[in-house]
Amino acid sequence: MTALTRPVRRLFGRAAAAPAGLDDATAAAPSVAIEQPGIAVEIPESDPLFAYLQAAPGPVDVTRLELASAALQQLRDAGVALVVPLVTQGELIGTLNLGPRLSEQEYSTDDRRLLATLAAQAAPAIRVAQLVREQAAEAAERERYEQELKVAQLIQQQFLPRELPKLAEWQVAAYYGPARVVGGDFYDFIDLGDGRIGVVVGDVTDKGVPAALVMARTHSILRAEAPRLVEPGKVLARANELLVPEMPARMFVTCLYGVLEPASGRFVFANAGHNLPYLRTDHGVRELRATGLPLGLLPDVTYEETEGEVGHGDAMLLYSDGLVEAHDPQREMYGFPRLREAMAADDADSDLLDRLLDGLHAFTGGGWEQEDDITLVSLRRAAGVAVAGWTGDRPEVALTHDATPATAGEPLLVFSIEGAIGNEREAMTRVAAAVAPLGLEGPRLERLKTAVAETVMNAIEYGSQGRADVPVDVRVDADDQAIRVQVTDRALSGPVPDAEAPDLAAKLDGRQKPRGWGLFLIRHMVDAMDVSTADGLQTVTLTLARDGR
């Protein structure tokens, strides 16, 4: 039983000893004996018999029907004598096939009338059953497809970096937004040894599961070849060599691969048809140019290398074309000029990726349907601790700078931690390790550790509001008289209030807040505590005398 767009396929069985049909004693009801495997009879829509049965007013005697039809001949060869069309709403959904009557008499008028009535009642019920079965099959297929998408999405997520590299004096940020459940964009950071980092941004043509599979293959190749070959031109040439034989038709991969030397800011890269990276310096925004064919198109391709330098305070952006090719409701494209203009803005107190995405959403409007995957990677070099943290929901690695043993005027330690609850213990441990060589007495060291942990915990809870993407900065200085620890946060909850002396009875009566012991405790753990604010930052300075007086 099928729709008009597919052949009608029915089974007809014959008894081993005698033809199937109606016995004289059961003339009121048709009967088909099936004692051996049925014979499949297909009636294609193009066969003249299909149209004849669809328009027939009742049962059709195939033994007397004269029609140039292959299906008609198959029915006769199968021993069918009478065909009852099952038609509902003008659609032929199947047939009821009967062999000769066992009494060898012709089917009577009453037989035909009874069969026609039966067909008129059965056809709608059979069609409903068909629809239910088709819907169940479609639902099962849809569920299977959704499960496959979830698996593909999980696989793709496994290929994206779980952590961004922690580089002294660098802020590294990344964003990935697929247009569908899975996509073809990817980025990666590869440890090459000797402090060097391989940086990858790629885009596979097309979207969905096929693109995700090609992405996974490309990612695996780059991961395997980059540590071995290192040089960007050689790495891309090797990747192209491996991808060409197995690349699906009409697909290819654009990819930019570079090697960053964090200590010097030197960035050497090769480009396989990908968007050119932007570098913003004090002198403006410029493109770093390198050309080459996309991966997987042609064999024996060479890739030129270009060298750039990311200086102190400079920022570099690597991106996929989902950003610049986005359209607003009037179908105007975001384009490279807007991206260049956005890059040129000073983001010393904000995050570049947040600002780019906010600008994109303002351009496209609220009802925007993302057309292509968007991948963004930014590398910003600073002279020391970051002055502002990540303000979005995407991952960030805070700037860190662990100092060597201090000389006159230099800090003992400068570092940043993520503003996540629980990281105060890490800060306390690092401060304790930094001041350990100073010979601070055990009880005073414990007091300093307690004060640092409480201060950082307050900075995380209030200054960062528990957000891992908003960092807390710590600086440790020491001279012959004292040790000073500065804890700086982003003051998301406002300035630190004055430390109120806790009164247990007042707290129980509700005249004081239940909390508030932290600042009181800190002031009594160290010799001095000062709070200052500037440029949206809040700094608590803890001072502990080294001689214990």
Backbone angles phi, psi at 213, to 5 degrees: -65, -40
CATH 3.30.450 residue window(s) in the chain: 8-133
Surface-to-core class of residue 281, CB atoms within 10 Å of its CB (0-12 exposed, 13-18 middle, 19+ buried): middle
**Distances, alpha carbon 490 to alpha carbons 110, 196, 419, 459, 531, in Å:** 93, 31, 10, 8, 13
Q: Into which CATH architecture does domain 160-395 fall?
A: 4-Layer Sandwich (3.60)
Beta-bridge mates of residue 478: 483
Residue 273's contacts (CB-CB under 8 Å, 6 or more residues apart) are 252, 254, 255, 292, 293, 294, 295
pLDDT at 42: 82
Tens of pLDDT along the chain (549 residues)?
333 333 343 333 333 333 334 333 333 333 333 333 445 678 888 999 999 999 998 999 988 898 899 999 989 988 899 999 999 888 898 888 898 888 888 899 888 899 999 988 888 888 888 888 888 888 888 887 777 666 666 666 677 888 888 888 898 999 988 776 666 788 999 999 889 999 999 998 876 677 778 888 999 999 999 999 999 999 999 999 999 999 988 899 999 999 999 999 999 999 999 999 999 998 899 999 888 999 999 999 999 999 999 998 899 999 998 899 988 888 899 999 999 999 888 665 457 888 888 889 899 887 777 888 889 999 998 744 333 333 333 333 333 333 333 444 578 899 999 988 888 888 988 998 888 888 888 788 888 988 898 899 889 988 888 888 889 999 999 988 899 999 999 888 766 555 454 444 444 444 544 344 456 668 778 888 888 888 778 999 999 988 765
- At a CB cut-off of 8 Å and minimum separation 6, what does 144 contact? none
Give yes or no for a contact between 51 and 70, defined as CB atoms under 8 angstroms apart. no
Q: Order the strands of the 284-287 sheet from edge to edge.
A: 284-287, 278-281, 315-319, 374-381, 170-177, 396-397
Answer yes or no: are the C-beta atoms of 440 and 462 closer than 8 Å.
no
Rounded-to-integer distance, Cα 142 and Cα 16, Å: 43
Q: Are 14 and 78 in contact (CB under 8 A)?
A: yes
pLDDT of residue 221: 95
- Token pair recorded at residue 234: 């050689």
Rounded CA-CA distance 1/210 in Å is 35
- CATH code at 8-133: 3.30.450
**DSSP collapsed to 3 states, 488-504:** EECCCCCCCCCCCCCCH
Task: From residue 408, give the alpha-carbon distance in Å to each of 80, 259, 277, 412, 479.
Answer: 107, 36, 41, 10, 8
DSSP string for 53-91: HHH-SS-EETTT-----HHHHHHHHTT--EEEEEEETTE
Judge contact between 276 and 213, C-beta under 8 A: no
pLDDT of residue 346: 66
Q: Please, where are the H alpha helices in 273-316?
A: none
How crowded is the C-beta side of 158, counted as CA atoms within 13 Å? 10
CA-to-CA distance for 488 and 531, rounded, in angstroms?
A: 10
**Three-state secondary structure string covering 412-423:** CEEEEECCCCCC
The CATH 3.60.40.10 domain(s) of the chain lie at 160-395
Name the one residue in this structure whose structure tokens are 């079965």: 133
| pLDDT at residue number 518 | 55
Burial class (CB in 10 A: 0-12, 13-18, 19+), 398: buried
Measured distance CA(238)–CA(230) in Å, rounded: 11
| Numbered ranges of CATH 3.30.565.10 in the chain | 413-545
CATH number for the domain running over 413-545: 3.30.565.10
